Amino acid sequence: MEENKIQNSKATVRTPIIVGTTLALGILIGATFFGGRRPAGDVSRSSSKFREILSYINRSYVDSVNTDSLVDYSITKMLEKLDPHTYYFPPQDAELARSQLESGFDGIGIEFNVFNDTVYVVTPLAGGPSEAVGIQSGDAIIKANDNNLTGKEASSTNIFANLRGKRGSVAKLEIKRKGFKDLLKFSVTRDKIPQYAIDAAYLMSDKKTGYLKINRFTETTYDEFKEHMANLQKQGMKQLLLDLRGNPGGYMDKATDIVDELVAGKGVIVYTDGKDSRNNRKSHAHIDGMFEKGPIVVLVDEGSASASEIVSGALQDYDRALVVGRRTFGKGLVQQPIQLSDGSELRLTISRYYIPSGRGIQKPYVKGHLENYDHELDDRGKSGEYFVADSIKNNPKMRFKTMGGRTVYGGGGVTPDIFVPRDTSHITKYLMELYGRNIIREYAMSYANENSKNLSKQSFDSYLKDFTVSDAMLNDMNRRLNQTGVTYTAKEFADSKDFIKSQLKAAIARHIWHRSVKNGLNNEYYQIIYQDDPMIETAIKSFVKAEKLERERKL
């Protein structure tokens, strides 16, 4: 597969430029891209004016003023005049933002949930420091190092500030546990806590389809991908269902590495174009991939962005995969993260990226008027796009061709080959109350803890086949919701009942079988909730077309 096999007109395709290791969302390209194209004097004069005003405010303003907050506010408002993805993180948020893309962080090793302004342990991570000292699912963390974590103090910022910390440091926790009158005290020595990018990787019931769900493209995504793909191939995988729904992106080089494992030849995977030519790079396929033969279906939706769009769009451009779902988000801008001296971080847009056919996937925006951009996904709903394929308004001026001559569009995300509408038949106000008050998750946690001995005795396959969420369980759960002041609505409950049962069964399974898992996979959970998923069902049926696409690609 050579890059010159994709033919688009010179007016359509921008001159290819050289692309290398980048990030999408916080896209890392390097540290020496700012050579001062604008005369330094202009910047100096502008900044001098700002410093002068700030100095007058600090010295003479009638009231006391926090100048740091004024500076942060000024920076934020200034960046609103640029694009939607140039962003400033103040020091207290920067470390948390960076940790989302790292391989792990230092902390106490729990998955938690905030319910009724209280931090509850969903599960202590297997092999982590909290599990080692005896912290259990359902424990409520009341204090950490004498700092309250309840009520107004149960904010994400405060929780992370108290539970995360340097490896080897100690978090002294005060915990409320069901059945104990007094608070229990634990000293947890923080350690490195791994983060996983792949939520599920298992062979489906047909024994030939490998299902793999990537939640974002982090430092470890590519290594996790190779490990799980190798295991699936050992189990007999013949075709791949790659789920990128809700994946917001991450490191671009991890996305291109995965594409390289799936496409043959030396073709272009992605290239970038920026004002500074040093930001222009090109990335080619260059290795013998582990799954270059065999049909692929990729699932996407409006939550699939950035690096997810590179993977789905590149595979579509090379006719290597059939894309199923709904139009993706449409983020085609590249950011460079710049750490500032006070610990804050600027993510500055430095280029646009383009996938193999030459199309850019960035949706339109107007500088300084970002409110319309923020509401674009809502506008899709109002126009009916989530429910009717014909409601997708592709720009006819952004028409491109795949290697096999199929028509694709740029300028607004990746449009799927096969559209699947949203299923809202089960969405009711009552269901939203259950979610909003975390009743399903909280009930599943307590049920799993109370019945763990009996449930753990059986295999997951047996649980999947035989376990049924009873009406008594549903009634008990509904009573918990009613106690929060929500009135039971019989019709709404009936409309959501099957969905609630599936979610509850999956959440219980996750508590029971995830406790012994150390690779981050939630296979049991996803095997249950996706049993009746319309997009999964459509994807399975689409492998016939995916096989045809592969045959035609080889001709």
Q: What is the pLDDT of residues 328-356, one digit of tens each?
A: 999 999 999 999 999 999 999 999 999 99
The structure tokens listed for 129 are 């420091």
Question: Tokens 């080089």 belong to which residue?
Answer: 253
Give the model's pLDDT for residue 181.
86
CATH number of 104-194: 2.30.42.10
> Cα–Cα distance between 523 and 339 in angstroms, integer?
37
Give the model's pLDDT for residue 17.
26
> Cα–Cα distance between 444 and 454 in angstroms, integer?
15
Q: How far is CA 85 from CA 20, 73, 247, 376, 495, in A?
A: 20, 17, 16, 14, 39
The structure tokens listed for 73 are 């506010």
HSE (CB half, 13 Å, CA atoms) of 270?
Answer: 34
CATH number of 198-332+351-422+535-554: 3.90.226.10
Give the model's pLDDT for residue 136.
84
> Cα–Cα distance between 167 and 106 in angstroms, integer?
5
Amino acid type, 218: T
Do 530 and 209 touch, CB atoms closer than 8 A?
no
Determine the distance from the C-alpha atom of residue 264 to the mean position of all C-alpha atoms in its chain, rounded to a whole number: 27
| Dmax (CA) of the chain | 78
- If we measure between CA atoms, which residue out of 99, 180, 171, 161 comes closest to residue 128? 171
> Cα–Cα distance between 211 and 536 in angstroms, integer?
10
Do 435 and 496 touch, CB atoms closer than 8 A?
no
Per the rule left: phi > 0, alpha: psi between -120 and 50, beta: everything else, 349 is: beta
Q: How far is CA 458 from CA 232, 441, 464, 505, in A?
A: 24, 22, 10, 15
Q: How far apart are the first and last CA of the chain?
A: 12
The structure tokens listed for 173 are 């926790």
User: Residues of the chain whose pLDDT is less than 70?
Assistant: 1-41, 103, 126-127, 515-518, 554-555
Can you give the residue ranges of every domain in the chain? 23-91, 104-194, 198-332+351-422+535-554, 429-516
Fold equal for 104-194 and 198-332+351-422+535-554: no
For the stretch 171-227, pLDDT in tens is: 999 999 888 889 999 999 999 888 899 999 999 999 999 999 999 999 999 999 999
Give the model's pLDDT for residue 94.
82
> Cα–Cα distance between 190 and 165 in angstroms, integer?
7
Burial tier of 98 (Cβ tally within 10 Å: 0-12, 13-18, 19+): middle
